[in-house]
Amino acid sequence: MNRQDYFAKKELNKQTRVDAGLVSDRFPGVSGIVIQMIYYRKLANPVHMIRTINFFPTSYAYFNMECMMKECVDGGFDLAQVISSLIKKHKKLVKGKMVCKGEGESLASHHASISYEINIQYSKQSK
């Protein structure tokens, strides 16, 4: 990827986050979201990364986590629907698994997956 493509992709990613809006605007009663993920890949050592991401009211409400495989095209793990459903039901915790649907020349199908745990903290006024 050349430098110009890199900067164009970075700018598009930034605009996508801005377009998602802030957590405080999309989910007014939420004071915090914590996503804990374990990234897996189809290799001898399957655990690729353990990651915790914190979202605050001032964070962008963008919950699409990229696939960690460099060769992956149009992949990733979109947790937006999971989070929206959790908040709509006013639940605090959900656990699940997701498979990357991205593609790449050297990638096998189901090349990466995650297990996740999402914790929602609600402000005291929203109860």
Domain-wise residue ranges, the chain:
22-126
Output the six-digit token pair for 26. Answer: 């999309």
- Rg of the Cα atoms in the chain: 16
Beta bridge partners of 47: 40
From residue 58, alpha-carbon distances to 18, 49, 51, 96, 105 in Å are: 12, 26, 20, 26, 38
pLDDT, one tens digit per residue, over 48-77 is: 899 999 999 999 999 999 898 888 888 899
Could you read off the pLDDT of 94-121 as tens digits, one per residue? 999 999 988 877 777 778 999 999 999 9
- pTM attached to this predicted model: 0.84
What tokens does 62 get? Answer: 């963008």
